[in-house]
Amino acid sequence: METAEIRRRWLSYFGSHGHTIVPSAPLVHDDPNLLFVNAGMVPFKPYFLGQETPQFSRATSVQKCVRTLDIEEVGKTTRHGTFFQMNGNFSFGDYFKEGAIQLAWELITRSQSEGGLGFDEKDLYASVYHEDDEAIALWKKVAGLSDDRIVRLGRKDNYWNMGVAGPGGPCSEILLDRGPQFGADGDWEAGDRYLEFWNLVFMQYELENVRSKEDFDIVGDLPKRNIDTGMGLERVAFLLQGVDNIYETDEVFPVIAAAEDLSGLRYGADHEDDVRFRVVADHVRSSLMLIGDGVTPGNEGRGYVLRRLLRRAVRSMRLLGVDAPTLEQLLPVSMERMKASYPELETDFSRISQVAYAEEEAFRRTLSSGTTILDTAVARAKSSGATTLGGAEAFALHDTYGFPIDLTLEMAAEQGLQVDEPGFRRLMGEQRDRAKADARSKKSAHGDTSVYRQLSDTLGRDVEFTGYDQTLTDTRIRGLIRDGVVVDRVGPGDEIEVVLDRTPLYAESGGQQADHGRIRLANGALIEVTDVQRPITGLVVHRATVLEGEAGVGADAEAEVDVARRRSISRAHTATHMVHQALRDELGDTATQAGSENSPGRLRFDFKSLQAVPAAAMGEIEGRINAVLLDDLPVTADIMNIDAAKKLGAMALFGEKYGERVRVVSIGEWSRELCVGTHTPRVGQIGVVKLLGESSIGSGVRRVEALVGADAYSHLAREATIVSQLTDTLGVRRDELPDRIAAILARLRDAEKEIAAVRQSQVLGAATGLVQSARDIAGVTFVSHDAGDGVTGDDLRKLVTDVRGRLGNDRPVLVSMASVAGGRPVVIVATNERAREAGLKAGAFVKLAAQALGGGGGGKDDLAQGGGSDPTRVSAALGAVEDHLRNRGA
């Protein structure tokens, strides 16, 4: 049964049992604790936490997920993968344990002809939390399981919590006995014999003081008992498809097969190669799905994860002996397999592939530059008499340049040096610990909503925001949090969260960054505020540091906004409204906002558009914005009911939730939007807006970035200086500069073409002589040639295929040539059809040659390429090909 069919049956089954079918959320989800959705229940977390009320009592989904904590382990075992799909069914105060068990058992045991999954009941077991007698009784009642097919396990295996204070409860797993060939009877811990594929979480308790997965306090029952289940789609797919692991399923293995064709190697022949094949298959699919959901490669956060995945895939193909670009052959294969479940991948494949192929090309350049940096480090180590390359240098290559450690190890070894791998691992561990600590701190702040609810209840009303009219407000400290705990007093150096009864500081919202400022107390205490957030509705929390003195709950205080920062952000926010309106004027009403960020002196505005905005249109948009600035229109804010706002034509912003009463911000009669942010009184105070450009960030979503005010002026001044320098250097007027530069570039391109043509003609000119030099070895027409320095792999490939073609197909032909380009040797072997019929495969010969060069290679039976690190071994490499040919005929 194909994976897409399992997915379809799941949704159909639960849909027919009263569950609302919820589409998969994008992998990039609005959760401050997560880079990506990593579990099927993530989109439903606000319901389980009591932060939102669900519109349904039952739901089902097949959720796209990505987990990257074990990225280094992918491929080494068949258990680790980054992208996976989690089938889930959820109950919010509706059915509980008995209903969940009944639904699960019916679907998995119903015959496939009747729409079920068709598992044999005699092979199924259940694990339960060792104290959950109710679940044991239900497994006996519903499924008829005997005691020997129900195993009791502890908190480690069969108790679920979120890792922070909140809901939790015992869980029960459905296991499949795969047979004695996978392990001993009753060996529940091994994980191969009794494979868990469905987890039913019985969410019924309120947990606090969650110290670890197994160490927490149960403080009471939840007001409503919930069900959260998860069935791993890939895991069920390999069980039903009769293969050994997720890499051999119908959605993954075709990429491995394509990699086999490109490399000339076979999956299953060698463990190290198998690891590389699995890395390629997993990472290509994960990259496809991430780019499809709008992620682009970068150096931070989500973009960095995507970059690592793509580069590990490219690197693994290189280790399989393929130096040429490969994503163009691999990515479409993955798309073809995944489009049955996610048809948008095919629709958007042009953009997805453009992003992926550009990153592959960039990494190939990184490999080139990284090799130069590594060679310099090796030379420096050798000159000092060292035999080891430092861990810090290896870490810098990895962290700064994206140069993989395994490549550093390989290339250093080729030059006779070891690498301080323990030092490298230590630095990597320190970096990982910092990332985990940061993630834990964010998780704690997000998850411990009970602390905020406690303070909100004490306050008795919403915190009043005075910042529209004031930047300095008399107030009172109503709550203090230190290290996640409510306290009465704080002192110098404490990092705290402060709740005031009223505040002029704006909490981050609607794309506008938070205000900074200070809180002063009558006793001389001074608190510096560096962030303001709304962790729950109605509560404003100031994240701050006590600079001087002591502060206590109930103390009168004075809260002051950093006015310079506020004005800079307000200019950016007002400019964002102007960019939005100007885009709609130019592109039409479909150019609606899809997100924004307003920070001091700059803005980022995301909008919906299926096509790039032409440069001429961007010029018109920028001109229209700055023309309105000259008109110095007033910026006003009015509170009205939502229906009145709609009648005025006010636009609602992406991701915002509105009540009956809304705030409408107007720029004259030109623009109206619903907005709670701060703005300039008149647009003329913005000064100038400079658009930096626009780009794609996802399917149908574009991004404009701009500078505002003094930042825009400084940017324009720098550009003017650069233009002046260019005009002086080239001796032309400013208006002549584009034509002059275009002419210079045209001449350079023409010169490069002429040089390439001359070089190619020289290389190909040798073909006639090489044909004449052909020898007979063991009944094979054989040509061997050292093309020398400066001949690229592309030119050498053309020469090899030209000579092979001239020698015809009357008898077996084998052509072997090598050259050195950029200090690194390359070898290419080609065979004709008659030679392949005789069992002569180019890939086998090129591997022998590449080994002599200290490297590797591979390819197809008719044409294969390899390389290495020792250019002095070219003759030995060509000799290895000839010796192997002679030995075959002996």
Residue 822 near residue 854, CB atoms below 8 Å = no
What does the alpha-carbon distance between residue 64 and residue 83 come to, in Å, rounded to a whole number?
7
**Contact of 841 with 871, CB cutoff 8 Å:** no
Q: How many CB atoms lie within 10 A of CB 79?
A: 13
Tell which residue, 617, 604, 499, has the closest CA to residue 551.
499
Instruction: Please name the residue ranges forming H helices in 528-612.
Output: 563-587
Degrees to nearest 5, angle at CA 357 with 356 and 360: 90
Q: Which residue pairs from 760-768 have beta carbons closer than 8 angstroms and sit at least 24 positions apart in sequence?
A: 760/795, 760/798, 763/787, 763/791, 763/795, 763/796, 763/798, 763/799, 764/798, 764/799, 764/802, 766/799, 767/799, 767/802, 767/803, 767/806, 768/806
Strands across the sheet containing 775-777? 775-777, 780-789, 813-821, 824-831, 863-867, 856-859
Say if residue 171 carries a ligand binding annotation: no
Cβ-count burial 549-576 (b if 16+ within 10 Å, e if not): eebebebebebbbbeebbbbbbbbbbbb
The candidate with the shortest Cα–Cα distance to 5, out of 250, 363, 207, is 250
Q: Which of 532, 533, 536, 552 minimizes the C-alpha distance to 457?
A: 536
Amino acid letter, residue 547: L
Q: Which residue has the tokens 């001449």?
A: 747
DSSP 8-class letter at 650: P
Residues 6+ apart with CB under 8 A from 384: none
- What's CA 641's distance to the chain center, in Å? 41
Please, what sign has the CA dihedral across residues 845, 846, 849, 855? Answer: negative
CA dihedral 81, 86, 92, 93 (to 10 degrees): -90
Cβ(687)–Cβ(710) below 8 Å: yes
Closest CA to 284 of 249, 327, 247, 324: 327
Local structure of 89: helix, strand or coil? strand
Whether 765 and 791 have beta carbons less than 8 Å apart is answered as no
| Residue that has been written with the tokens 């002591």 in this structure | 550
CB hemisphere CA count around 5 (13 angstroms): 13
Burial status of residue 401 (CB atoms within 10 A of its CB: 0-12, 13-18, 19 or more)? middle
Please tell me whether 577 is known to bind a ligand.
yes
Query: Are the C-beta atoms of residues 273 and 320 closer than 8 Å to each other?
Result: yes
CB atoms within 10 A of CB 541: 25
Query: CA angle 73-75-80, nearest 5°?
Result: 60
Q: Which residues contact 177 (CB under 8 A, 6 or more apart)?
A: 123, 124, 125, 193, 194
Whole-angstrom distance, CA of residue 838 vs CA of residue 781? 13
Alpha-carbon distance values, 571 to 45, 566, 638, 678, 691 (Å): 36, 9, 19, 9, 14
CA distance 103 to 229: 11
Distance CA 769, CA 581 (A): 70
Whether 398 has a binding-site annotation, put simply, is no
Check the annotation: does 573 bind a ligand. Answer: yes
- Cβ-Cβ contacts under 8 Å for 282 (sequence gap 6 or more): 74, 75, 81, 82, 83, 247, 252
CA–CA distance, 566 with 507 (Å, rounded to integer): 12
Residue 654 · residue 544 · CB < 8 Å = no
Q: Which residues are annotated as a binding site?
A: 573, 577, 675, 679
Q: Which residues are annotated as a binding site for Zn(2+)?
A: 573, 577, 675, 679
